[in-house]
Each structure stands twice: as C-alpha cells, then as structure tokens.
Structure 1
Amino acid sequence: MKRRSFFKTGALGGSVLAISGIAACTAENTATQTDIDLTDFDLNEVTVSALQQKMEAGELSSETICKKYLERIEKVDPFLRSVIELNPDALEIARQMDEERKNNKVRGLLHGIPIMIKDNIDTGDKMMTTAGSLALSGNVVDKDAFIVTKLREAGAVLLGKTNLSEWANFRSNNSSSGWSGRGGQVRNPFCLDRSPCGSSSGTGAAVSANLCTIGIGTETNGSIVCPSGINGLVGIKPTLGLWSRQGIIPIAHSQDTAGPMCRNVSDAAILLGALAASDPNDAETHIEKAEFPTDYTPFLKADGLQGKRIGIASQMIPDNAKVKALFARAIADLKAQGAEVIEDVKFENNRKWGGPSYQVLLYEFKADLNKYLSEHPTAPSRTMAEIIEFNKNNADKEMPWFGQEIFELAQEKGDLNSEEYLEALKNSKLYAGKEGIDKVMEEHNLDAIIAQTNGPAWTIDWVNGDHFSGGSSSPAAISGYPNITVPMGFVEGLPIGISFFGKAWSEPKLIEIAFAYEQATKHRKAPGFIKSLME
C-alpha cells in the first residue's frame, strides 16, 4: 500500500491472562515496533454462526476460543488501548459453557461466544465500572446491569470491558474521542494515529481488530454509530426502550441506549434479539411502548431491498468529494438491489432540535448521574459535585489536555421539574421525531432514510480536541428512533459507513435493508494497523 507501513509488535513481558486489568496508557509507554504482524490471527473475521458450528463439531471449545482472544489482546492491545480491564473469571465461565454443551444444554446462538462491553455498564463480578474516570476507580458493583444478566442467561462469555471517551464524551467540548483518565487513548486499528471516534471507541476498536467476537457500546448521540462507522463495523442504535438502561452509567435517560457493535449484520441481529426485553425498572423512555421481536434473524433477507423506498437526507450529504463518490456508489447499489431511492429528503426543523437536546442532556446528566451514584455505595464519588472536585484535585491525571466545562454547566442546572427542561424535552422530541423523521417518512412514504455515518477518521489531537468530519446521528438519537450503520467503503484506507434510520420500533425493516446492502457490497475488511498515512 503506497505511503503506508504496517505497524507490528512483539509480545509483552508477562502474561495478560494472569491479570485482571490493564494499566492506563500514557504517551511515554506506548508499544514499540518489531517484526510481528498484527494482522495475522486464525479467528480473524469469524462470525457467531461459524464459531457455533466449530463448537458443535468439537473443533473448538469456548475455552480455547477465549484463550485465543486473550492472547491476541496481549499482543495487539498495547497499540490500541481498547481494553480497559479483563475479566479474571472469563475462562472459568467458558469452561462452564463447554460443560453445558457436553451435557446437551445449549442456551442459544450466544452460548460460549466471547463478548466485550463498554466500561460504563455494571457487572456484578470482579471488574470495576468507571466510565473511564479515576473518580470511580474501585467501583466494583454487586449487581449486573439488566442487559448483562441477559447476556449471561444467553451463555455469552464476558471477556472484559472496553475503554471509552471518559464519561461517554460528555465532559468537555475540547475532548479527544477515546481518551479516558483510567484507560488512556484508544486508537483506530486502520490507522493508529487516527481517531476511533467516541464514546464507544474501545468497543469499536476491539471488535474491529478481532480482539473479541462481538461487542456492546452505548449511545446518547452518535456514540454507537460513529465508532462503528469509523472502525468499519456494523452498529445498531436501537429504539429507546428496546434494551434496558438499568445499571448503565447515564448521560440522559431520554436518549441513552446500549446497542450491538459487530463485524456483520448477522451477528448484530443475533445480539440485538438476545438482549431485547422489557424491564419494569428502566427509566421512562418518552416513547410509546410497542411489541417487539426477541429474534431478529428472520429479517436477514438477501432480497430485503426489493421494493423498499429509501430517502436521501440531502442536508447531511458531506462536503468531502471522496465521501460523496462513495455515497453515490451506495445509492447505485441500493437501486441495483431493487430499492426505489427518493432524492432530496429534507428536515424542515433540522436547526431546531440541537439546542433543546443539549439543554435536556445537561439537566438529565446531573439528575441521572446523581441517582446512579446514590444507588452504588461502592462508588468513591457520591455526587456530580464530588466528581468535579475530584477532577480539580487530580487535574494532572484527569485534565492534562481538556477540562470539565460540561460537568460544570450541568451542575448549575436545576431539577427535572424546571420549565426550561420540560420545554426543551418537548421541543427536542417534537422536532426530531414527529415533525422530523415521522413527518418526512410519511410525506414520502419511506421505509428508511439514509446518510453517511461518518467522514474519514481525523488525526488524534490532544491539544485542539476532535475535529469531526461529518455525521448524521442526531435525528435518530434525539428522537430515540433506531439507526443502523453498515460499512460503505474506504477513503484512503479509512472506513466510511452508511446509516439507515427510521421510525420507532422499525428495527426489523432496517435490518432487512442493512443486511441486503451488506451482502450485495461486502465492504467490511479487517484493519491493517497502519502506523500513519504520512509514511
């Protein structure tokens, strides 16, 4: 590949299998280049279904699979800093799943499958839940998040937790996606001096680099779809309420949701269904409840684009000529698979939802985080105010590059009975939902709306922070509606995704569309760990 060199590494001294965590990264202790190719791995791009077939045939056991991933983490992750902590019980869980299989008890398609989850999701085990912050170091909880309970019931093996943009990228306007005080800087496996996008950056990098089979991220606005798109993955941001948020460190209950981040639509659909369940303890979703499937595999249809009407969100078309060319090719591919594409679909209120949504996030962040901390007695910091003070007292570790002005703005807000909050909540949902996605889909009789997920990954910059290169997450994120991103191709070797979004609870239709597009194009490829595009 012209102007580019592969980045390679040797094994670390000592075994990562013997420790329960991975130390935080600093600029001074990043791994160095040697002659071992990071692209070489016998489970590269393996799917959930393929692993199930190998376990059923006796070719592999869950324990063996997990050991392979742990060995790969030891070799690869010093370059990525995508894993913040390993589960010391992972191999024991895998052995239990193997024993159940020997006794003809297979719980489902996730039985024995290794998964990584973001470090803002509670696990009632030996691992911490910190949102990447040193202020929560030592927060070992006694109860699984609802979705983790569902994962364990399904037989998945929790391999570890992933690094993230600290506090899910809601601390500073000048933050660097993927940086946390506890975990250091996550890097993009396609090009190591480029951003992995936030906030589910660690999950995006780990899944893309084949450090696990599947992963889970969380999103308030873009934090599943952007790191999925920029790391060459399929990401599903579900309808608000499809997955429970109980036991997840929050930003805002009216927008937060966890969701699958996988290398293909099939795996994402399997994971989506396994964790879809009503939870009476979940926060109010502000969306009318609906019946939903708990198995999305019937919607994996190769002809799923036939007869579909798809609208182009023309206001979100990027300025980058190379991304425009990819998007034009994607439109041609959609048409070739039988879709009718409607040009120039516009949101009349696209400038009206952002401001109210930001106010909602500030209010809910203070209320929801304080509630989470009050329910977690092991958390060293008990309130948002205490976290702000902790960061000031530990500024050399927590704020070496950017501050906490978002925390400080949120702390100044009143409670959720405030007239300003209630008005902002009403307007943000109205303009993004009923007068946004719902309106344009009804006007044009659409099955889905499309836009590019991301622009090319930008260079990591701790001084100036992120400089995003395009996105389309806001209408689906603010309304609480579903959004699926699929690899659309590459610009100078950097992955670009295409997003399919629609009305609330339309996951089945979106999966049909996304799967058919994926199968017709197959743009996903494993990363090459290029050191820099400048070499």
Structure 2
Amino acid sequence: MRRVRPAFLAMALAAFTPSLTLAGSPAAGSALAAVDAALARIERSDASYAAVVAVDGAAARAAAAAQDALPPAERARLPLAGQPVLLKDNIESRELPTTAGSLALAENRTGRDAPLVAQLRAAGAIVLGKTNLSEWANFRSYHSISGWSAVGGQTVNAVDPRRSPCGSSSGSAVAVALGYVDIAIGTETSGSIVCPAAVNGVVGVKPTHGLVAGAGIVPIAASQDTAGPITRDVALAARTLAAMLDPAAPGAETIAAGLARVAGLDSLEGLRVGVFSNTTGYAAERDRELDAVLDLARGDGASVISGLGIERYDGFSDDAEAILLYEFRRDLSAYLAGLPNALAGLTLEDLIAFNAAHAGRELRYFGQEVFLAARDLDLDAAGYAATRDRLRRQAREEGLDRLFAEAGLDVLIGITEGPAWMIDTVNGDAFFGESMASLPAIAGNPHITLPLGTVDGLPLGISLVGRRGEDHTLLRIAHRFETLHRGGP
C-alpha cells in the first residue's frame, strides 16, 4: 500500500535545507554504509556498556538499501537521510518487541510503529534497534538502579563504566555518547531524557508537553510523558525534533519552521538569562562550571539575572508522586488493554504477581514498592483532579510562568545533573542536589541539557528551560550557548 505523506510533514521536511546537514553525516553518503558502520560499532563495543538490547540488522540494511536506491533529488529532501537511530525500549517499532525492560513484556511484539517512529522513518531515519532503560522507566521501586533492567542488565556510564548512566533513557544517552549513532530517542516523565544526557556528555531535549505524540509508548503518566531526541549537538536535535512533531499539536507548524533556523542567532545581545538558584549551592565545583557558562553569556551580550528560585508548598512532592501513581495505574491499564497480541488484558496486579514469581531475575536488586503503591493508592477522580490542578498551578502559573514574566526572561538556566555517581546495587541511586527536571516536567515547559561543563573529568549538564510552545526559540538560544562553549564566533 502506498503511504501518502501528510501535508504538514512535507512542509516540515522541506523547511530543512542541505546546509544544515552535519559534515560527514550519512546524508552525504550511502545509508547502507552508515548502517553497517553503526552495527559494527555496536558489535565491537557494547558488550562492555550494555546500551543496546536488540537490533534488527536485516531490516535496517533493507531500509537503507531502499533509501540508497531513491533518486538523489528525492533523498536530498530527507532531513535525516541515512541517519541510523536507536529507540528506547518503551517505544514501539514494528520489527522488535517493546519490553520497557521487563521480562513480563519480553514478547510484546505489536508489529506497529509509534507515530513518532513512523515520522522519523518518513524523514529518512533508519531504525537499528532498541536501547536499554531503567526498568519500567524507573517507576517500579523507590530504590531502583538507573540503567538496570531484567531484560538488558546494567547499562554503564560512557565516560566511566563504574558510574551510573542515570536514567531512565540510559542506553539512548550512552549509545550517542559512545558514537554508535548520532541520534537516539528517549522518553521523559521527570528527568529521564535530560539526566542521562547530562551525565554522559550529550544533548538531550524534553519538548513542550504534547508536542510529540505519545501513542505507542509504554506510559507512566499522560500529563507529563513525552519522547525527545538525544543527539551529539543542538542542530541535529532540532532536525530530529522537527521530524517528531505531532501535526495536531498546537503551534506545530510555527515550531517546525523555527527549528529550521536554529543556527540563526549571532549573539545573545538583548536576551535575559535567569539563573535558577534551586540547583546551585550544593558543590562549589558545579557552581564554578555554571558561572563559567554565565560569563560566556555576559560576554556575548546577555543580561544575567541571578537568584531566581521557586518555593514549593508543603506537600508538593507528595502531590507530585500521587499524580504519577494515579496516572500510571490508569494509563498502563489502557496501554495493556490495547495490545494487539497475547499480552492484551494484562493488569498491574498481573505484573506484580509476575515479578514475585520471577523474583530471582526481576527483584534481584530492588523491589516493586512503586507498583504496590500505585495499586493501593487511595485517590478518587475528584481528588486526583484537585491535586493535579494544585500541583500544576504551583509549577506553571505560580512557578515558571511567574519567573519568566516578572524577570522578563528569555531562558532559565541551571544545573541539570551530575557528575555521575558510582553504581551501587545495594543502596541504589545517589542523586546529588536538586535537579532542574521536576518543574519543567510538571509544567510542561521545554527543557534542553547541554554538555557545557565537567567536574573531575566527568560531564556536567547545564539546563536551559524555555516557555511552553517556544521550543524553537529555546533551541536557537541553546545553539548559541553551544557555539560559545566551543569557541565559535
């Protein structure tokens, strides 16, 4: 059956000119050669890092060969032509099972692409396979280990394999950092793209909530879940995000057009950069790296407004957890009910029983307290709605929206996460200080992390947060920060 390209997608693809193609990228040569090289890198190195859980080399090579056979003019119009891509293993693709890292979903073959995957293919990307993740996207236990799943084992940090890759999009970030691919797709509910990108030294983008379609992704919470790109630089992140945009999302056409001009900012002159103080003051080494980035911004003409923070109400964290638990129980049930295979009809109770029955493999390092808490949550629909509204109002109107409006900000900057901590199978993760991730995740604002610092040779991510629906503006500013950090004009 011939597939008709939606008019919106054609417009978004046409907006990207060949001048945005990275030097030496697959678009300049054979897609098949790019795929073979990526597969060889995975085969050669990944036994030591466990970033990739599954590949379908035959399908990828067939897709690449078909693309190479296209007329040159047609292939030149594909913004991601010949780019090998890896997907986090909670995103459906037609070739491979989608497990969320759980043995309970080991045979979850849906035979379908998530909409975002279909759009990536339409833009010329070649799907190689799936990356490991923190099992159930870090939503099974309060003591989980980032990057560990029963399906994929322990993914390790790309810079220091003794250290955590963070999560839950662990394998996606590590695969890009190691150079297996230049593009991997992650998902985030709160920090799961930006944290692993930050501690592995790559770029990660959490888009405005709702900008990328969420269908075909194993869910945690619909009010916060989103997919986003993890790449080696901002320009490629912009091209990838443009290909992923849901054409039905408000403002998608404007954002797509803006992403095509992400390299158009010659200076930060006249821009107002707010410093999010909630993420500072935990370690002098981290603060010095952020200060160095702020000095670059000042030298490029930006006004820097320091000391901006948000005071949360008592019970904010409890409310945030309750919303995720409520939505997980609801949204996972709906996802499982809609599976087109023998797993259809599984319930959260079934998953709890499965883990208990396979405790030697599933519960080897940590339990399933989050699953139990979701099952037992005493919160009705009215209570959920009131809690959600209270939480979102604090994060949005009384939080980020207020900061942007009162200080006249163009962007908010802070420390994402890092440096990476040692992997600890006894005590679990050892997050340090306050992350930049929570408020943008709850409020729905776009958030990008850039590898702009190091502490003792380990990557430190610096976050930029923008206004909702202005992802293109955020990435344009991020591109300028990246250029300054690299010593460009």
Match of 2:406 among 432, 435, 443: 443
Aligned-partner Cα distance in 2 for 1:463–1:194: 14
Aligned-partner Cα distance in 2 for 1:414–1:142: 36
Q: What residue is the counterpart of 1:122 in the other structure?
A: 92
Contact 2:90 2:98 in 1 (8 A): yes
Deviation, structure 1 residue 301? 2.8
Return closer, same or farther for 1:137/1:154 CA change in 2, 3 Å cut-off: same
Aligned-partner Cα distance in 1 for 2:373–2:386: 18
The secondary structure found in structure 2 opposite 1:461 is coil
The secondary structure found in structure 1 opposite 2:461 is strand
Q: What residue is the counterpart of 2:187 in the other structure?
A: 218
Deviation, structure 1 residue 420? 2.2
Deviation, structure 1 residue 293? 2.1
Q: Deviations over 1:295-333 (max 9, x none)?
A: 403022342522110111112214111111111111111
Aligned-partner Cα distance in 2 for 1:160–1:92: 14
Contact 1:305 1:512 in 2 (8 A): no
Match of 1:507 among 466, 471, 482: 471
Return closer, same or farther for 1:232/1:504 CA change in 2, 3 Å cut-off: same
Return closer, same or farther for 1:304/1:269 CA change in 2, 3 Å cut-off: farther
% identical aligned pairs: 41
Q: What residue is the counterpart of 1:86 in the other structure?
A: 55
Q: What residue is the counterpart of 2:277 in the other structure?
A: 314
Which TM-score applies when normalising by structure 1?
0.84
Q: What residue is the counterpart of 2:203 in the other structure?
A: 234
Match of 2:461 among 484, 492, 497: 497
Contact 2:256 2:472 in 1 (8 A): no
One-letter amino acid matched to 1:297? A
Q: What residue is the counterpart of 2:8 in the other structure?
A: none
Contact 1:260 1:271 in 2 (8 A): yes
Deviation, structure 1 residue 379? 5.5
The secondary structure found in structure 2 opposite 1:322 is helix
Contact 1:353 1:432 in 2 (8 A): no
One-letter amino acid matched to 1:95? A
Match of 2:440 among 476, 481, 485: 476
One-letter amino acid matched to 2:101? G
The answer to whether structure 1 residue 255 and structure 2 residue 224 are counterparts is yes
Match of 1:50 among 23, 31, 44: 23
The secondary structure found in structure 2 opposite 1:369 is helix
Contact 2:255 2:469 in 1 (8 A): no
Aligned-partner Cα distance in 2 for 1:376–1:48: 38
Return closer, same or farther for 1:84/1:309 CA change in 2, 3 Å cut-off: same
Contact 2:235 2:262 in 1 (8 A): no
One-letter amino acid matched to 1:496? L
Q: What residue is the counterpart of 2:3 in the other structure?
A: none
Return closer, same or farther for 1:266/1:253 CA change in 2, 3 Å cut-off: same
- Runs of 4+ displaced beyond 6 Å: none
The answer to whether structure 1 residue 410 and structure 2 residue 374 are counterparts is yes
Return closer, same or farther for 1:371/1:330 CA change in 2, 3 Å cut-off: same
Match of 1:375 among 338, 349, 352: 338
The secondary structure found in structure 1 opposite 2:427 is coil
Aligned-partner Cα distance in 1 for 2:261–2:280: 32
Q: What residue is the counterpart of 1:18 in the other structure?
A: none
Q: What residue is the counterpart of 1:95 in the other structure?
A: 65
Return closer, same or farther for 1:48/1:181 CA change in 2, 3 Å cut-off: farther
Aligned-partner Cα distance in 1 for 2:209–2:468: 8
Q: What residue is the counterpart of 1:15 in the other structure?
A: none
The secondary structure found in structure 1 opposite 2:69 is helix
Q: Which moved more, 1:267-276 or 1:377-386?
A: 377-386
The answer to whether structure 1 residue 188 and structure 2 residue 150 are counterparts is no
Q: What residue is the counterpart of 1:299 in the other structure?
A: 262
One-letter amino acid matched to 1:506? E
Contact 2:147 2:155 in 1 (8 A): yes
The secondary structure found in structure 2 opposite 1:453 is strand
Q: What residue is the counterpart of 1:162 in the other structure?
A: 131
One-letter amino acid matched to 1:522? R
The secondary structure found in structure 2 opposite 1:409 is helix
Match of 1:487 among 436, 451, 459: 451
Please provide the CA RMSD for this pair.
Answer: 1.8
Match of 1:342 among 290, 305, 316: 305
Deviation, structure 1 residue 278? 3.1
Q: What residue is the counterpart of 1:360 in the other structure?
A: 323
Q: What residue is the counterpart of 1:430 in the other structure?
A: 393
Could you list the runs of 5+ residues in structure 2 that have no partner in the other structure?
1-19
Return closer, same or farther for 1:350/1:226 CA change in 2, 3 Å cut-off: farther
Contact 2:245 2:252 in 1 (8 A): no
Deviation, structure 1 residue 134? 0.3
Deviation, structure 1 residue 291? 5.8
Aligned residues between the structures? 464
The answer to whether structure 1 residue 207 and structure 2 residue 207 are counterparts is no
The secondary structure found in structure 2 opposite 1:244 is coil
Deviation, structure 1 residue 294? 1.9
The secondary structure found in structure 1 opposite 2:255 is coil
The secondary structure found in structure 1 opposite 2:161 is coil
The answer to whether structure 1 residue 332 and structure 2 residue 302 are counterparts is no
Match of 1:131 among 77, 93, 100: 100
Return closer, same or farther for 1:290/1:93 CA change in 2, 3 Å cut-off: closer
Return closer, same or farther for 1:420/1:77 CA change in 2, 3 Å cut-off: same
Aligned-partner Cα distance in 2 for 1:253–1:100: 38
Return closer, same or farther for 1:313/1:102 CA change in 2, 3 Å cut-off: closer
Which TM-score applies when normalising by structure 2?
0.91
Deviation, structure 1 residue 289? 6.9
Contact 1:304 1:516 in 2 (8 A): yes
Could you list the runs of 5+ residues in structure 1 that have no partner in the other structure?
1-46, 281-287, 524-535
Contact 1:48 1:113 in 2 (8 A): no
Contact 2:27 2:80 in 1 (8 A): no
Q: Which moved more, 1:301-310 or 1:91-100?
A: 301-310
Return closer, same or farther for 1:517/1:178 CA change in 2, 3 Å cut-off: same
Return closer, same or farther for 1:410/1:292 CA change in 2, 3 Å cut-off: farther
Aligned-partner Cα distance in 2 for 1:425–1:199: 23
Return closer, same or farther for 1:312/1:86 CA change in 2, 3 Å cut-off: same
Return closer, same or farther for 1:318/1:472 CA change in 2, 3 Å cut-off: farther
Contact 1:252 1:364 in 2 (8 A): yes
Aligned-partner Cα distance in 2 for 1:327–1:419: 43
Contact 2:27 2:81 in 1 (8 A): no
Q: Which moved more, 1:66-75 or 1:344-353?
A: 344-353
Contact 1:207 1:262 in 2 (8 A): yes
